[in-house]
Amino acid sequence: MIYCIDTCSLIDLGERRYPESISVFKPIWDHLYSSIQDGTLVSVDMVQIELEQRADAWRTAFISQASSMFQISESIEQEFNLVVSEIESNPIFSANRKRDRFMSGADPWLIALARSYENATVISSETKNLANYGLGEVCDVLGVSNISLLDYINISQIQP
Q: Which residue would you say has higher pLDDT here, 70 or 54?
A: 70
Task: Please write the tens of the pLDDT for every residue from 110-155.
Answer: 999 999 998 899 999 988 988 889 999 999 999 999 999 999 999 9
pLDDT of 157 reads 86
* pTM for this model (two decimals): 0.94
Task: Please write the tens of the pLDDT for every residue from 82-93.
Answer: 999 999 999 999
Instruction: Compute the C-alpha angle 149/151/153, nearest 5°.
Output: 70
Mind listing the domains of the chain with CATH numbers?
2-155 (3.40.50.1010)
Task: Please write the tens of the pLDDT for every residue from 27-50.
Answer: 999 999 999 999 999 999 999 999
- Closest to 8 measured CA to CA, from 150, 154, 159: 150
In whole angstroms, give the CA distance from residue 146 to residue 112.
Answer: 13
pLDDT of 41 reads 98
Q: Which residue would you say has higher pLDDT here, 159 or 93?
A: 93
Q: Which residue would you say has higher pLDDT here, 127 or 63?
A: 63
Mean pLDDT value of segment 64-93 = 96
How many helices (H) and strands (E) would you count in the chain? 9, 5
pLDDT of 160 reads 62
DSSP state of 122: E
- Closest to 5 measured CA to CA, from 142, 132, 151: 151
Mean pLDDT value of segment 11-24 = 93
pLDDT of 118 reads 87
